[in-house]
Amino acid sequence: VEESYEAALASGEWSCEFRIQRADGDQRWLAADGAISHDDGTPRRAVGIVRDVTDRRRLDRDFRTEREHLRVALENSPLTAFRLDTDLRYTWIGGAHDDFDSDWVIGKRYDEVLPPEPAEQIMGPKRRALEADEAVREVVTYELPSWSVTYDLTVEPFREDGEVIGLTCAT
């Protein structure tokens, strides 16, 4: 704490989060930010704000917990989940099988990574989900030069502030 105080005096600013316990036993998290004004190198006044950030910290913790649950589920099942933008470009992939290079396909469309006919087969349900603005579930089978691929594909519009900004998919 003394180091933080000294650093605030030297820089003229501070920012910290800390936990308090109220008289009723309730614990809250507070964030404090402020500035120190100096007169001839001597600190004269501190001005700042303190905000209750308990709800934000709970949401952060819940989000981390949900991400961990998703990670464990994807790593221990044959499920692959992914997100596409409205141009059907990969924006995120989780649980991809070992011989699939997730990093390589981010930003790409199916017609950039598959031959034309299989690309059209796999993009069809995604286009329908975007056009109809509703979920689509379909079993898709396509042929590659060396083998046949079958996916049980679920596609749903992904919204932000009510606007469709892409698709959330699972296979």
Q: Are 145 and 139 within 8 A, CB to CB? A: no
pTM above 0.85, yes or no: no
Task: Judge contact between 139 and 59, C-beta under 8 A.
Answer: no
Encode the chain (171 residues) as per-residue pLDDT tens digits.
556 667 777 778 888 899 999 999 999 999 999 998 878 878 788 889 999 999 999 999 999 999 899 888 888 888 888 999 999 999 999 887 766 778 888 999 999 988 888 899 999 999 999 999 999 999 999 888 888 889 899 999 999 999 999 999 999
